[in-house]
Structure 1
Amino acid sequence: MAFTIRQLQFFVAAAEQGSVSRAAQTLSISQSSVTEAIKDLESDLGVELFDRHPRGLNVTHKGHQFLRHATKILADVSDARRTFHIGQEMVRGRLQLGVTSLVAGYVLSDLLARYRRAYPGVEISAIEDNGDYLEHLLIGGKLDVAVMVTSNLRDRTALQSEILEVSAYRLWMPLGHALSGADIISIGDIATEPLIMLTVDEIEENTGRLLSAIGAKPHIAFRTRSVEAVRSLVATGAGVALLPDLVYRPWSLEGDRIESRDVSGSLPVVQVGMVWRRGSGLPQAARDFIGIAQSQRTIRQRQ
């Protein structure tokens, strides 16, 4: 039996929510419907998509591989419906995009793929840089739209923003780490641990601020601009990391497992969104890009 779009929607919701009950609540359906859909999907694929435990669900390695396909299929279905609302004449134009390092591979890639499918006639140029420089380019009219971390946006009077995703910080640690069995992990527990520090966007600034609030000087074992390097170092026991859940994946490139846990206390969140110059007459290509991003956000909220 081939899997259905409905099964994919239920699977993605369960993967994102981390439990059948929360997925059912988000979808406004019964828990049994979600459970049955996932079991049928696993039977059809011949793999286990989740590890079940008393507190919810963990996506397996195979599950994460299928999650990327499922998300793309759902986006393609949305794009297929969208084509009937686009005029027969191919839309043309030019779109100048900016993106910050943290979100380039985790938000922009899927969004840009959807936009290219919907508007193949638009010429796209994109630049990756830090948030301050992208703000400068937006204000100067050199960029139409930027997809970036907006929680530390500097010039809110000149720029308009719309949030696409909010991601909380969590603790990353290697499999079997001493803290992985704790019911509650506090910032104080992390203070003496060697830290693998990601130095893009506001990550290092936020982590340092958290630790200094409890009077602790962070023990930084390694600084890097690469999320993949953080994964490899954490997975092999070189240290732990405090990073937004947005970029979490449970496996390093080498195939080693990475655990992720909530941390108690007032941790910041990372807001990712679109930014454009306030009051400017956006070209049609930019307005269409914003519309695609808004529809993708709506899909995630419904799943």
Structure 2
Amino acid sequence: MSTPTLKQLRFFVAAVDWGSLSRAASHLNVAQPALSQQIAQLEASLRNELLTRTPRGVYPTEAGDRFYRHARTILRQVEGAVADLTGPVKVIGRVAIGLPTSVATILAHPLLGAILNRYPGIRPELFESLSGYLHELIARHRLELAVLYRDRSSPGLTVRPILREELFLVTKAGSMPAASITMRAVSQLPLVMPSPTHTLRTMIEAAFAQEGFALNVIADVDSLPTMRKVAASGLAATILPVSALSGIDDAQRPAMIRIVEPAITRPLGLCYAADQPFVGPTALVADLMVAEMRRLVESGAWGGAVLAEP
């Protein structure tokens, strides 16, 4: 059995990340036949089929999924070693970052600006998705870093608590004159919420259930822009953090009513795989993410949020 080359590892990881041989080849700026040949040679040397090819793209086999984790770690270790020797002036490498949609609305733009201005040699790869899927990508080592709704570590996952967000009732502007509303009153309103498997939904349902209330959900909507539009129109209300309304014009902005008796908050933490080498570009970007989140909270730009205890 021959030893895989770094080129083969890089080509294989790109194929899994992009889910397509043609897109991976375009990303790597190589011809697709050359990429396919390198992966075929890798599979032959390992005596295992690593990718399942379909007309709609490729995805890793069980063996491929296991090998992907090792390959990604090896490539990051090589990048970290190179970055360590190049010194603090020029850091080179890629860092894949995952942000939930509501967090991305307020954090994505300033975070990208901070990374590109501070470390122009680092190539950030930003993924925006549901938090549950981002957790899965962290576990598979397809992401180096992710912001998740967690404040404590678990087996395989290291969590650095950053802040807590208060959740508000979001409804049509002018429809409710009061500045606050009780949880009991919220339970009687028609709501649009993410699907039952969504972290925000399960967290809110658990908070209501603890007080003996149930949500009156009339539609499951896994789209933040749609939930905001429905709430602004008065068709139904929803429950979101202030960050989820970032960037909306004042004329189109729905009202945000504080939920009391009791209030509802959710934690946000910076997360990464416990067995991942935390060096080089990954460590630098992690520090920038924490600093940027803290800056947004301390400046008041991240409304309804308070920093976790250091």
For the criterion TM > 0.5, the same-fold answer is yes
TM-superposed deviation, 1:116: 1.6
CA distance, structure 2, for counterparts of residue 183 and residue 148 of structure 1: 29
1:188/1:250 CA distance change after superposition, 3 Å: farther
TM-superposed deviation, 1:161: 1.6
| Corresponding position of 1:90 | 90
Q: Would the aligned equivalents of 1:194 and 1:240 in 2 still touch at CA under 8 Å?
A: yes
1:301/1:130 CA distance change after superposition, 3 Å: closer
Q: Would the aligned equivalents of 1:108 and 1:147 in 2 still touch at CA under 8 Å?
A: no
* 1:261 equivalenced with 2:264 (yes/no): no
| Corresponding position of 1:299 | 295
Of the candidates 169, 182, 187, which is equivalent to residue 186 of structure 1? Answer: 182
TM-superposed deviation, 1:267: 3.5
CA distance, structure 1, for counterparts of residue 183 and residue 114 of structure 2: 39
CA distance, structure 2, for counterparts of residue 221 and residue 252 of structure 1: 27
Q: Would the aligned equivalents of 2:172 and 2:255 in 1 still touch at CA under 8 Å?
A: yes
Identity of aligned residues (%): 17
* 1:233 equivalenced with 2:230 (yes/no): yes
TM-superposed deviation, 1:149: 2.3
Q: Would the aligned equivalents of 1:231 and 1:251 in 2 still touch at CA under 8 Å?
A: no
Structure showing greater Rg: 2
| Corresponding position of 1:276 | 272
TM-superposed deviation, 1:125: 2.6
TM-superposed deviation, 1:135: 3.0
| Corresponding position of 2:169 | 171
- Amino acid paired to 1:246: S
| Corresponding position of 2:135 | 135
Aligned 1:239-250 pairs, distance under 5 A: 239-249=236-246
TM-superposed deviation, 1:285: 0.7
With the length of structure 2 as denominator, give the TM-score of the two structures: 0.59
Of the candidates 156, 159, 163, which is equivalent to residue 157 of structure 2? Answer: 159
With the length of structure 1 as denominator, give the TM-score of the two structures: 0.60
TM-superposed deviation, 1:275: 0.7
Structure 1: tracts of 5 or more residues without a match: 1-85
1:236/1:212 CA distance change after superposition, 3 Å: same
Structure 2: tracts of 5 or more residues without a match: 1-85, 300-310
TM-superposed deviation, 1:248: 3.1
TM-superposed deviation, 1:204: 1.5
- Amino acid paired to 1:196: V
Q: Would the aligned equivalents of 2:204 and 2:264 in 1 still touch at CA under 8 Å?
A: no
- Amino acid paired to 2:170: W
SS of the counterpart of 2:259?
coil
Alignment length (residue pairs): 213
